[in-house]
Chains A and B, each alone.
Chain A
Amino acid sequence: MFEIPKWKIGLVTALVVFAFLYALPNAFPGQPAIQISANRGEVVNDLLQGRVEGTLKGKKIAFDNVRIDDDRLTLRFAENDSQLAAHTALVEELGIEKYTIALDTASTVPSWLSAIRGKPMTLGLDLRGGIHFLMQVDQQAARDKLDEGYIDGLYVMLRAEKIPYRGVTRTADGFVVELTTREDRERAYTELTEQLPDLIVTRRDASETILEAVIRPETVAQAQRATIEQNITTLRNRINELGVAEPIIQQQGATRIVVQLPGVQDPTRAKTILGATATLEYRAVNDSVNAVEIAQTGRVPPDSLLVYTREGEPVVVRREIIATGDQLTGATSMLDTESGTPAVSVTLDAAGGRRMLDFTTDNVGRPMAVVFIERVPEVKIVDGKEVRTSRETKEIISVANIRGVFGPRFQTTGLDSMQEATELALLLRAGSLAVPIDIIEERVIGPSLGAENIQRGLEAMLIGTALIALFVMVYYRLVGVVTVVGLSVNLLLLTAVLSFLGATLTMPGIAGIVLTVGMAVDANVLIAERIREEVRAGNSPLAALRAGYEKAWGTILDANLTTMFAALAMFAFGSGPVRGFAVTLLAGLLTSMFSAVVVTNVIMAAIYNRQRKVAAISV
């Protein structure tokens, strides 16, 4: 008999079921869709739905259905063309100020499949078209900004403590603080270590009046991380402006950011929006007037401005600015030590701190507003010429009462939740001037090229696999047929694993799959050739079968492991497309080893266990 342990049969059955379930979502292609979400105080409701439907009917644009869930309106279309036409029409009708109108691909995967986390493979930009940017964050500028902040801090501290000084200078790796006497140096040393714990302060031996300070490496590292994080947040906010569905914004290495915008075709527009500048202003609230009334009548006092909050409430603020975003050096969310409520701790530079001190001294108990201003450069074609303008959006992100006199470091309290605090801190940082970003890699793939690539890739995969299947079946007969079944299980498993891992399918990835199919057969060829040899050597059919699997296994393992080393190296040192190839190759080697050895073994056992006496193996 050719016995197979029960657990092996169970394992194969379980994995085939898993593979089928998780490969299944790929059978449901995405549908062109438009997603509309509301900005600043607008709502997504039936009224909007009516307006959208009316607009599309007026323009005779066909759509499949409309649905509102999670405050988002989703429109589905049968064709790409009507999706694009509808986008243009809706942008015209609704405007991009109040709503974000994004092109999207709506999933058609049944809900029970989504519930078990079944999802189709993501297509890479080379298969769907879009723009890829690799951006480098200017670390030198980040370091300059950090150092300047500390120099300001040093001056402010020396002045506040009334310690006479000759000056603070920046050196290659830190600062030199020159004082006037030995006693002053001692005082400065004590105050510095106490007030600026992020600095490592040492007394210069050769002199009696000089202190040297270096920023702690962990503080520098943290500042670098914060810089990247801040830039990513800013970029994410701006990409939302572009109305891109499924953008990818990721950190790569210590100083780089990858941005992928599927479906976007105009890199110039993307670049201008990503390059926009944003800033913050701290202003006093004019609480002597009624803001709602002013919003209705439009009669704003000459020394004030009318600005709306994110929620759409009007607030009247003074024209005079207390501090601006470029004076902001940091913002972190925290729990207020006194009240235990969520708060945001803000740090301003020396100049901003002084202004804040002066202002708060006179205004305890009165409200102060944080105004967020974003300038997005726009390029319009007027009479065939490019006209560059910029669009400014202004909104209030928080209003809070001043509870005491403070200088460069203060807290905004009275927030509802820790999440709100985190968001505000992020916004404050995102709004403050980010360190400059340089685009060091840009790839644009047109949508037609993407469609062409995927079609060609699938065709090559299909025909390659079919040829191999035919050849193997003719050459190895029944063992060949079983091999083909194993190969199909392999493809199913590979699809399932790649979908489950959320891997992105790229053109080189497809090449990787085709290649693993070719190589996967190797394991079966090794087994089949072994069986033939054993039969020739005069062994009984079943003994030959068993020996074939046993003896071939070691060779199969050795051979696959070595190719895996190559795939691992590609994953570790490669980037972008090469990584995609490495992932599919690696996953393919694992699934093919399993299907070639275990799956076919179980099938062979199932076939030959039914026969009482096996006369010959069909190989």
Chain B
Amino acid sequence: MEIFNPNANIPFMSWRKMSMAVSVFLMIASVALLATRGLNLALDFTGGTLIEATSVEALDSEKVRGTLAAGGFDGFTVQSIGGSREIAIRVPPLAGENANNAKAQAQVVDRVKSTLAQAGINVDIKRSEFVGPQVGDELKEDGVIAVVFVLLTIMLYVAMRFEWRFGFSAMAGQIHDVIITLGFISLLQLSFDLTVLAAVLTVAGYSINDKVVVFDRVREIFRSARKMGPVESINKAINNTLSRTLITGITVFMALFSLFFLGGPVVENFALTSIVGIAIGTLSSIFFCNPILLWMGVSKADLKQIRPEDPALAARP
């Protein structure tokens, strides 16, 4: 079975001005979103307390809110989740005199429970989390380091395996994918926790995976097809790999959609972020990275003179 005509020659590169304009617009919009709305950082990064509780009776969020306010809590949110019998309570890290009091911070869960119990609201704690403010700060820092580390090592690797213009283009594509994914998270105000960070890093890894496949083919065509100009070569490479790009995209989406619909709340945001990020990554390998390659003036001469015989290539089984 074949979905795509293998002899198709879709002129992707002739749309490059438009596709670049769309990419640049999306990036600017994402940066603007990140600057204005920011990320809805979850407990993992902000520190604080989260309690998910269920009850046999219907829970009135308003009543819970009133009870907690009367109990001296500040800046908390109460949200109904999964019907009327389940609520999520979020309490930010304590400020003021208790800011540096680790014991007081850790006791918030107990205090919330006893405050509710005193008002006659009996709940079962399904899940509770407390993250100290210093842990949150460290996770934030580690997260940023991890993203930067991934971007840099991957660029280095691609620059080493190919040529610096490919490395630059791949990294530009990767930054493009990560920024737009983050912009999407910001737009929907998804709760940005450790698993969503893991999804963003996976997107970075997958995105480069996709670009490598296309670049591999660009290189191969540059080497073998002597009469073709760079635009035609790149276009042919994209067309040749198109079937693979889409089939792989379909199988990854099958995995991710089943996670999204069946995996439950723990992995829901992970799956959604990955779906969006991988879609963007697939599109950018075609519409964003290749135009950059062209504009940087990549030509057959570059590849041929620098690596007439790639020893790594020769060593392959």
Interface residues of A (CB under 8 A from B): 126, 134, 136, 267-268, 271, 438-446, 448-449, 452-453, 456-457, 459-461, 463-465, 467-468, 471-472, 474-477, 507-508, 510-511, 514-515, 517-519, 521-522, 525-526, 529, 532-533, 536, 550, 553-555, 558-567, 569-570, 572-578, 581-582, 585
Interface-side segment among B8-16, B72-80, B247-255: B247-255
Give Cα A463–Cα B141 distance, bound, in whole angstroms: 37
- On whether A444 and B127 interact (CB within 8 A), knowing A459-B262, A519-B206, A563-B209, the answer reads yes
* Majority secondary structure, B binding face: helix
Q: CB-CB < 8 A to A475: which residues of B?
A: 1, 3, 247
Q: Please indicate the chain A residues that have their CB under 8 angstroms from the CB of B145 in the complex.
A: 573
**A271, A472, A561, A565 — most chain B CB neighbours (10 Å):** A565
Q: Which residue of chain A is the closest to B130 with respect to CB atoms?
A: A442
Q: Is the CB of B126 within 8 A of A562?
A: no
- Residues B317 and A507 in contact, CB atoms below 8 Å apart: no
Q: Mark B224-265, 1 if CB is under 8 A from A, else 0.
A: 000000000000000011011001101111111111011110
Contacting residue for B198 out of A134, A529, A574, CB 8 A:
A574
B157 touching A440, Cβ below 8 Å:
no
Nearest chain B CB to A14's CB is how many angstroms away? 19
Shortest distance from the beta carbon of B112 to any chain A beta carbon, whole Å:
12
A563 surroundings in chain B (CB, below 8 A):
202, 205-206, 208-209
Q: Report yes or no: A438 in contact with B135, Cβ–Cβ below 8 A.
A: no
B197 proximal to A (CB < 8 A): yes
Distance of A93 Cα from B219 Cα, bound (Å): 77
Given contacts A442-B129, A569-B146, A574-B146, contact A126 B266 (CB under 8 A): yes
CA distance A577 to B146 in the complex (A): 15
A518 near B106: Cβ-Cβ < 8 Å: no
- What mask results when residues 116 to 139 of chain B are scored 1 for a CB within 8 Å of chain A, else 0? 000000001111111110110001
**Set of chain A residues within 8 Å of B103, measured between Cβ atoms:** 438-439
- Known contacts A456-B263, A569-B150; 8 additional CB pairs below 8 A are A439-B130, A446-B126, A449-B127, A468-B251, A514-B256, A553-B317, A554-B313, A574-B142
Provide the residues of chain B in CB contact with A570, threshold 8 Å: 146, 198, 201
User: In the complex the two chains form, is A443's CB within 8 Å of B128's CB?
Assistant: yes
Instruction: Please tell me which one of the listed residues A463, A468, A560 contacts residue B262 in the complex, with CB atoms under 8 A apart.
Output: A463
Q: Per a CB cutoff under 8 Å, which of B128, B216, B254 touches A467? A: B254
Q: Check: B67 CB closer than 8 A to any chain A CB.
A: no
* Residue numbers in A under 8 Å from B255 (CB-CB): 464-465, 468, 514-515, 517-518
- Please give, as numbers and ranges, the residues of chain A lying within 8 Å of B124 by CB-CB distance: 446
Between A453, A508, A511, A562, the greatest number of chain B beta carbons within 10 A of the residue's beta carbon is seen for A562
Report the count of interface residues on B (CB-CB < 8 A).
77
Give the chain A neighbours of B1 by CB distance below 8 A. Answer: 474-477
Given A517-B255, A566-B201, the answer on whether A559 and B209 have CB atoms closer than 8 Å is yes
Bound: A41/B234 CA distance, A: 80
**Cα distance A518–B260 when bound, in Å?**
14
CB A524 to nearest CB in B, in angstroms, measures 9
Inside 8 A of A533's CB, which chain B residues have their CB? 6, 240
CA–CA, A467 and B210, complex, Å: 22
Q: A468-B251, A518-B252 are in contact. Are A439 and B157 (CB under 8 A)?
A: no
The reply to whether B146 and A522 contact each other, CB–CB distance below 8 Å, is no
Q: How far is the CB of A137 from chain B (nearest CB, A)?
A: 11
Instruction: Say whether A507 contacts B266, CB under 8 Å.
Output: yes
| Residues B260-309 near A (CB distance < 8 A) | 261-264, 266-267, 270-271, 274
Query: In the complex the two chains form, what is the Cα distance from A522 to B251 in whole Å?
Result: 8
Residues in B neighbouring A562, C-beta threshold 8 A:
154, 157-158, 205, 208-209, 212
Contacts of B252 in A (CB 8 A): 515, 518-519, 521-522
Contact A565–B205 (Cβ < 8 Å): yes
The one of A508, A536, A576, A578 that contacts B267, using a Cβ cutoff of 8 Å: A508
A342 to nearest B CB, angstroms?
A: 40
Q: Inside 8 A of B127's CB, which chain A residues have their CB?
A: 443-446, 449
Q: Which residues of A contact B243 (CB under 8 A)?
A: 529
Whether B258 contacts A444 by the Cβ 8 Å rule is no
Tell me if B41 is interfacial: C-beta within 8 Å of chain A.
no
Asked if B191 CB lies within 8 Å of chain A CBs, one says: no
Contact present for B195 and A471 (CB under 8 Å): no
Residues from chain A with Cβ under 8 Å of B27 in the complex:
none
